[in-house]
Copies of this chain bind each other. A is one copy, B any other.
Amino acid sequence: MESVLEEAVALLDEAGASALTFRALAQRLGGGVASIYWYVANKDELLDRAADHAMGPVLDVVEKLPQSDDPIDDLRVMAVTLFDAIVQRPWLSAYFMRNTSIQTHTLGLYEKLGQQTLRMNLTASQRFHAVSALVGVVVGSAVDLGQEPTQEMLDGNVDRDEYLHRVAQDWRDLDPQEFPFVHEIVDEFDGHDDVDQFRSALELTLTGLRLQAGV
């Protein structure tokens, strides 16, 4: 079981979600395809378990984080830790919190995030929504990352920077009268860093939360 998940994660890391097939996994394990069905009921469960397996080290880090006097600061560090993990493993975002009865590490992370809201003056509803919002920011910001390279990127052998640059050029060719905003931000878009984007989105949500809790 352990080695099944280990090899599944390795396949996902090497070539993304589309590379994880039962046949490829069986080959790496040196067995037949049907064997894997002794450990998991179907591919969904395999992916849920693989994702949670990869969350183990992340939970370890989060649990060892020192607590400051400011729960908002602690939430920020935790969210960044989680986001960093997803940056390194973009395939994670699609399977985060999909089945907590199987994903115990993920549930642990959810709990640790939530415990910070227990330190703030909020209602249970506000706490629930706050953590959902934070998870949403992390996952929402990571959606871009999780996307498999498009056919265009594979064909032209273009990397991310080159791809962003081409899109930016398309945008610059648009009518400035009709698309004033796109023209305003096209230089920002061109070569932008996903981490900056995430950080800004996170800060907006944390600011809103700070105001709500009055801390």
Residue positions of A touching B, CB distance < 8 A: 41-42, 44-45, 98-101, 107, 110-111, 113-115, 117-118, 124-133, 135-141, 143, 147, 150-151, 167, 170-171, 178-182, 184-185, 187-189, 192, 196-197, 200-201, 203-209, 211-212
Chain B residue nearest in CB terms to A140: B140
Chain B residue nearest in CB terms to A113: B181
Q: B residues within 8 A CB of A179?
A: 107, 111
Measured in the bound complex, the distance between the Cα atoms of B105 and A152 in whole Å is: 21
B185 touches A101 (CB 8 A): no
Measured in the bound complex, the distance between the Cα atoms of B203 and A205 in whole Å is: 9
A133 touches which one: B126, B135, B143, B201 (CB < 8 A)?
B201
Measured in the bound complex, the distance between the Cα atoms of B130 and A161 in whole Å is: 22
Chain B residue nearest in CB terms to A117: B181
Q: B residues within 8 A CB of A114?
A: 181-182, 184-185
Measured in the bound complex, the distance between the Cα atoms of B94 and A147 in whole Å is: 9
Additional A-B contact list (19), CB under 8 Å, known A139-B140, A203-B208: A44-B150, A45-B151, A98-B147, A117-B181, A124-B184, A125-B188, A128-B185, A128-B192, A129-B200, A130-B204, A132-B197, A133-B137, A135-B140, A136-B140, A138-B140, A140-B141, A204-B204, A205-B208, A207-B211
Q: B residues within 8 A CB of A42?
A: 151
Chain B residue nearest in CB terms to A196: B129
A170 touches which one: B100, B110, B209 (CB < 8 A)?
B100
B147 touches A182 (CB 8 A): no
Q: B residues within 8 A CB of A211?
A: 207, 211
Measured in the bound complex, the distance between the Cα atoms of B100 and A167 in whole Å is: 8
Measured in the bound complex, the distance between the Cα atoms of B201 and A212 in whole Å is: 12
Instruction: Given A118-B180, A180-B118, verify A205-B212 contact (CB < 8 Å).
Output: no
Q: B residues within 8 A CB of A151?
A: 41-42, 44-45
B200 touches A132 (CB 8 A): yes
Q: What are 13 A-B contacts with C-beta separation under 8 Å?
A: A100-B170, A114-B182, A114-B185, A124-B184, A127-B181, A127-B188, A129-B201, A133-B204, A133-B205, A137-B201, A207-B207, A207-B208, A207-B212
